[in-house]
């Protein structure tokens, strides 16, 4: 049927259409549809319009891309741009990270290979599962996000960003939530995808994305949250890190949505399993981990904080704040991690006693005196203890050092010609001034005439003030400055109180000054930084060990070390058993306590390690009576030094050279103007030729004093010369003479010129000869006591016999036969020195020392030598030397080995065989002459080791 022709619409057009439509039949005609509802209309007219609109849309999108691209950065420059990186401060091993110095962003750039597979896939699984499929923009996700935001009337809602877009947002653009920024983000993401590989984009992402706590990048996040490198994170930790970037603040483990963080972590793991990156079993196992409990509490992740802040200040002073916070420097410091931990433990463990005496804080500094390098620094008990101002580094704060400053004054005296044998009167003296300065000793007692050795070792105050007067305050201050003190700039303010700690010093500088004594007069500048590298590994600075600067005569330094390491010289004040000695190792030490117990110090050193300890209150308030340096600071010092030197070779101090033989033992002014030496026992004058004939041992044990003089006074300008012709011209003459006169009268010392002593009175031939008859040398004592018998062959009658073990007097006997029963129950198993000393009527003494072995029954752990004898001498021609050890362990013994170390530190290792039961033995054939130390090490069945103290022997060539 032909289709009717459409004509212009008229009144009859509809009828005509109907009639044509209904021509075949007589049915009622149907009503026609509007033309815009007809398919033909859309085919012929609407489709071209739609195509045009689509083209306009495309052109619009292209136009928008072009418009927003005009001011975007060039993607090619992204890799090369300067990214702010944290400066990392390491310990001296270059591996122990102490701290990251950063500004607002904590960041560390790492290669993609350092990012573990699990973290890469966890991030992709939760953030962008089609990362390897799209070209930078996930249109489906983007439209879904836009639709959701429109429905919710929220332009800041869902993001729908790919990993590439997230990188663009965080690294190049801002995080502003707007459609304009979103378009820019899409444009740049598209450009980046065209220029970079997927792996390159991942690397950029993992080094830029924020994870919260100011951590930018995966490496910084791993360090902040778990205290480890990102390469070390486990599967569950990787999942938690991947859960954070979507909303770091909302999901923060420090906030109120930890449960949602754990839920998102679980979703990450499940996504990884669903997407085939891990098995379901692995996902379930990781979900069981309590990962949140592994997170480091939110406080500065910092080790050795006071030292680190000190280093940061040094770096900032040189490089500036911006370079330190953003330059990505790698800083290797001098800090020794093991020693730092020992120092922190010593301070922490010692605080209970400090607090008992009203103190609240302590600080410790330890240096290598030969290099000046800081090995440990504890600026306070706890850096994070706000209650006690823990962030204050007391090691850098000026505090009064008390008597610990005395060695500097005596060092100046020794420089000027005084010696450790110079005698001063320890008598309460009014030194004048306004008000009058009248110092007294710590215990309030007077000791009469004492040598400078005893005065310094016993920390007597009056002789120290006299010494400072003799050398002059200015000279003492000048020496202090050459030793490295920077705080002593007002000598007039200190006056004679300087020697008792009247001037403030810093613990770090004080420790370094004692290091000059340890280094025999050579000062090394204090060093905290070994090397600084820029972000590309270029070395900006590097510390080389220098020769240092000699600021003190070598022999003067040795004399100070000799005095401070002389435990016998201080025993009259501190006792023989005190906290200033180390087991089996020579050490020099000095304590200090300020007025009203505001500060308590202990300073001490071996030739290789110097350590200073301060205790007190940050606000300088008083502690309770008795808070002496030897009581509260010395235990901390000893605890650290004992741990720090354990297992290290024993190094002895070099003895000082003898003083000028022509120098009188004592100088004083007599009415005749003569100088005499007087024996304290006989009261007779000792002619110089008699002294020359004395046995050396007798010279060491005798204390001579000038008892006839009314005033002891030396020539300040010539200490080794004659007594000044007119000592009364000195303004201190009368002040010093008055107490000496009083002392002489009270002690019946004001006598006429004494008679001269016969030079034959004391000779080597007249020295008592002691023979220990029981026990035999080298014998083993198994009980809790030992019976000792000795015979004495002497020209004169024997008035006293002393029985001594390991330098400690146990008992004495006054009548022959000389016998004693000594309690040895408290002695440790192993070698001990038994000594018997006999004194005649003029106190000339003879002695014999033997080695004995104490062997108590023990069910615990112990190890000790039974051969060779400590200090014994052997010739190379003697051949093999037998070494015997007794080792016991309730757990069971796996092995006993012997290490033999020569003077150069070369170690010879020997295995032993079990002779019977707990006895182990081996043979050693020395090839070279020299001094050796022997140490035995027992390893039990649990792998724990126990070692003996070092045993010394000498090998001679003949």
Task: Compute CA distances 179 → 145, 154, 168, 186, whole Å.
Answer: 12, 11, 15, 10
pLDDT tops 90 at residue 487: yes
**pLDDT > 70 fraction of the chain, expressed in percent and rounded:** 79
- Cβ-proximal residues to 120 (8 Å cutoff; 6+ apart), any chain: 112, 202, 206
Predicted confidence at residue 11, as pLDDT, reads 38
Handedness of CA 402, 403, 406, 407 (dihedral sign): negative
Which is catalytic among the residues 100, 105, 127, 185?
A: 127
Which token pair is 334?
Answer: 């001098």
How much is the pLDDT for 81? 52
Q: Range with the lowest mean pLDDT among 118-127, 753-762, 809-818, 880-889?
A: 753-762
Burial of residue 576 (CB within 10 Å: 0-12, 13-18, 19+) is middle
Compute the C-alpha angle 502/507/511, nearest 5°.
105
* pTM of full prediction above 0.85: no
Closest to 100 (Cα-Cα) out of 92, 109, 88? 88
Q: Is 301 helix (H, G, I), strand (E, B) or coil?
A: coil
pLDDT at 27 over 50: no
Q: What is the mean pLDDT of residues 846-853?
A: 88
Residue 745's alpha-carbon distances to 166, 446, 737, 822, in angstroms, are: 95, 15, 12, 42
pLDDT tens per residue across span 610-650: 999 999 999 999 999 999 999 999 999 999 999 999 999 99
Tens-digit pLDDT profile for residues 541-568: 999 888 899 999 999 999 999 999 999 9
Average pLDDT value for residue range 719-728: 70
Q: Are strands 907-911 and 893-901 parallel, antiparallel or unpaired?
A: antiparallel
What is the reported pLDDT for 546? Answer: 80
- The residue ranking higher by pLDDT, 491 or 377, is 377
Residue 705's pLDDT band, with cuts at 50, 70 and 90, is very low
Query: Could you tell me the sign of the dihedral formed by the alpha carbons of 334, 337, 342, 348, in that order?
Result: positive
Residue 705 contacts residue 677 (beta carbons within 8 Å): no
Inter-residue contact 101 to 325 (CB < 8 Å): yes
Q: Which of 391, 384, 462, 395 is nearest to 425 (CA)?
A: 462
Residue 529: both structure tokens together: 């930084």
Ramachandran area for residue 610 (φ above 0: left; ψ -120 to 50: alpha; else beta) = beta
Residue 104 catalytic? no
The question of whether 161 is a catalytic residue gets the answer no
The Cα 244–Cα 809 span in angstroms is 70
For 572-605, how does the pLDDT look when each residue is reduced to its tens digit (9 = 90+)?
A: 899 888 999 998 899 999 999 998 899 999 999 9
Of 371 and 889, more confident: 371
pLDDT bin (cut points 50, 70, 90) of residue 25 is very low
Q: CB–CB of 267/246 below 8 Å? A: no
Tell me the mean pLDDT in the region 670-695. 62
Task: Give phi and psi for 241, each to the nearest 5.
Answer: -60, -40
673: pLDDT strictly greater than 50: no
Q: Which of 120-134, 358-372, 766-780, 814-828 has the highest mean pLDDT?
A: 358-372
pLDDT at residue 379 greater than cutoff 70: yes
C-alpha torsion angle, residues 249, 253, 259, 264 (rounded to 10): 70
Query: Residue 22 above 50 pLDDT?
Result: no
Which of 22-36, 652-666, 790-804 has the least mean pLDDT? Answer: 22-36
Active-site annotation holder among 360, 380, 403, 630: 403
From the list 79, 382, 97, 84, the residue with the least C-alpha distance to 222 is 97
pLDDT band at 369 (very low <50, low <70, confident <90, very high): very high
Asked whether the predicted pLDDT for residue 52 surpasses 70, the reply is no
């Amino acid at each position: 049927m032909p289709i009717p022709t459409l004509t212009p619409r008229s009144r009859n057009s509809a009828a005509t259409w109907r009639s044509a439509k209904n021509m075949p039949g007589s049915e009622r005609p149907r009503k026609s549809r509007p033309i815009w509802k007809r398919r033909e209309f859309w085919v012929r007219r609407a489709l071209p319009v739609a195509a045009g609109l689509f083209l306009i849309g495309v052109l619009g999108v292209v136009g928008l891309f072009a418009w927003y691209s005009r001011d975007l950065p060039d993607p090619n420059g992204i890799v090369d741009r300067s990214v702010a990186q944290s400066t990392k401060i390491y310990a001296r091993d270059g591996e122990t990270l102490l701290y990251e110095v950063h500004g607002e962003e904590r960041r560390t750039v790492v290669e993609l290979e350092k990012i573990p597979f699990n973290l890469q896939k966890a991030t992709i699984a939760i953030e962008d599962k089609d990362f390897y499929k799209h070209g930078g923009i996930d249109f489906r996700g983007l439209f879904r996000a836009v639709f959701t935001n429109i429905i919710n009337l929220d332009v800041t809602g869902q993001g729908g960003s790919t990993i590439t877009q997230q990188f663009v947002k965080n690294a190049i653009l801002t995080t502003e939530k707007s459609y304009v920024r979103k378009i820019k983000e899409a444009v740049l993401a598209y450009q980046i995808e065209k220029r970079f590989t997927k792996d390159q984009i991942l690397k950029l992402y993992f080094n830029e994305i924020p994870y919260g706590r100011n951590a930018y990048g995966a490496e910084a996040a791993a360090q902040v949250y778990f205290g480890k490198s990102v390469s070390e994170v486990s599967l569950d930790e990787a999942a938690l890190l991947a859960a954070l970037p979507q909303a770091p603040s909302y999901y923060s483990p420090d906030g109120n949505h930890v449960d949602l963080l754990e839920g998102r972590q679980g979703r990450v793991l499940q996504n990884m399993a669903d997407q085939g990156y891990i098995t379901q079993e692995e996902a379930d196992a990781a979900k069981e981990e309590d990962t949140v409990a592994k997170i480091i509490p939110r406080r500065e992740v910092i080790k050795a904080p006071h030292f680190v802040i000190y280093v940061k200040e040094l770096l900032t002073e040189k490089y500036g704040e911006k370079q330190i916070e953003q330059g990505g420097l790698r800083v290797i410091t001098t800090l020794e991690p093991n020693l730092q931990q020992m120092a922190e433990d010593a301070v922490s463990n010692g605080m209970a006693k400090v607090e008992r005496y009203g103190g609240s804080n302590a600080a410790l500094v330890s240096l290598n005196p030969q290099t000046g390098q800081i090995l440990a620094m504890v600026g306070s008990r706890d850096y994070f203890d706000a209650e006690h101002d823990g962030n204050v580094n007391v090691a850098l704060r000026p505090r009064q050092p008390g008597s610990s400053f005395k060695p500097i004054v005596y060092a100046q005296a020794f420089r000027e010609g005084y010696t450790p044998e110079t005698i001063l009167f320890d008598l309460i003296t009014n030194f004048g001034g306004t008000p009058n300065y009248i110092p007294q000793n710590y215990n309030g007692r007077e000791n009469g005439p004492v040598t400078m050795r005893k005065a310094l070792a016993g920390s007597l105050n009056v002789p120290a003030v006299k010494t400072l007067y003799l050398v002059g305050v200015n000279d003492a201050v000048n020496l202090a400055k050459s030793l490295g003190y920077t705080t002593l700039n007002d000598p007039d303010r200190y006056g004679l109180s300087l020697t008792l700690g009247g001037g403030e010093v810093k613990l770090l500088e004080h420790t370094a000054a004692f290091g000059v004594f340890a280094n025999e007069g050579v000062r090394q500048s204090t060093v905290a930084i070994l090397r600084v590298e820029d972000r590309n590994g270029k070395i900006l600075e590097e510390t080389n060990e220098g020769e240092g600067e000699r600021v003190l005569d070598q022999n003067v330094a040795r004399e100070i070390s000799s005095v401070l390491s002389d435990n016998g010289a201080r025993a009259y004040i501190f006792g023989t058993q005190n906290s200033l000695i180390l087991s089996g190792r020579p050490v020099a030490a000095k304590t200090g306590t300020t007025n009203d117990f505001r500060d308590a110090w202990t300073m001490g050193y071996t030739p290789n390690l110097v350590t200073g300890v301060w205790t007190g209150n940050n606000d300088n308030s008083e502690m309770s009576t008795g808070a002496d340096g030897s009581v509260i600071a010395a235990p901390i010092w000893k605890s650290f030094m004992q741990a720090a030197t354990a297992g290290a070779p024993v190094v002895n101090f070099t003895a000082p050279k003898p003083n000028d033989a022509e120098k009188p033992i004592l100088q004083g002014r007599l009415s005749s103007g003569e100088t005499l030496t007087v024996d304290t026992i006989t009261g007779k004058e000792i002619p110089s030729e008699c002294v020359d004939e004395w046995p050396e041992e007798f010279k060491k044990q005798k204390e001579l004093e000038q008892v006839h003089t009314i005033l002891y006074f030396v020539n300040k300008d010539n200490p080794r010369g004659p007594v000044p012709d007119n000592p009364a011209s000195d303004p201190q003459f009368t002040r010093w003479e008055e107490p000496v006169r009083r002392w002489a009268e009270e002690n019946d010392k004001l006598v006429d010129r004494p008679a001269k002593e016969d030079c034959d009175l004391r000779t080597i031939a007249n020295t008592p000869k002691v023979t220990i008859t029981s026990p035999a040398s080298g014998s083993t004592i198994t009980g809790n006591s030992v019976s000792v018998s000795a015979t004495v062959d002497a020209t004169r009658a024997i008035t006293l016999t002393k029985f001594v073990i390991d330098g400690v007097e146990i008992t004495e006997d006054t009548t022959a036969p000389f016998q004693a029963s000594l309690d040895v129950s408290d002695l440790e198993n192993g070698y001990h020195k038994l000594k018997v000393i006999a004194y005649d009527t003029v106190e000339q003494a003879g002695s014999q020392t033997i080695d004995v072995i104490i062997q108590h029954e023990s069910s615990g752990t112990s190890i000790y030598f039974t051969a060779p004898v400590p200090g014994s001498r052997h010739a190379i021609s003697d051949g093999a030397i037998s070494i015997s050890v007794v080792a016991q362990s309730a757990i069971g013994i796996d092995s006993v080995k012997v290490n033999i170390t020569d003077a150069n530190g070369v170690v010879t290792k020997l295995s032993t065989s079990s002779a019977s039961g707990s006895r182990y033995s081996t043979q050693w054939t020395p090839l070279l002459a020299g001094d050796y130390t022997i140490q035995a090490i027992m390893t039990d069945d649990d792998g724990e080791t126990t070692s003996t103290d070092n045993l010394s022997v000498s090998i001679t060539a003949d």
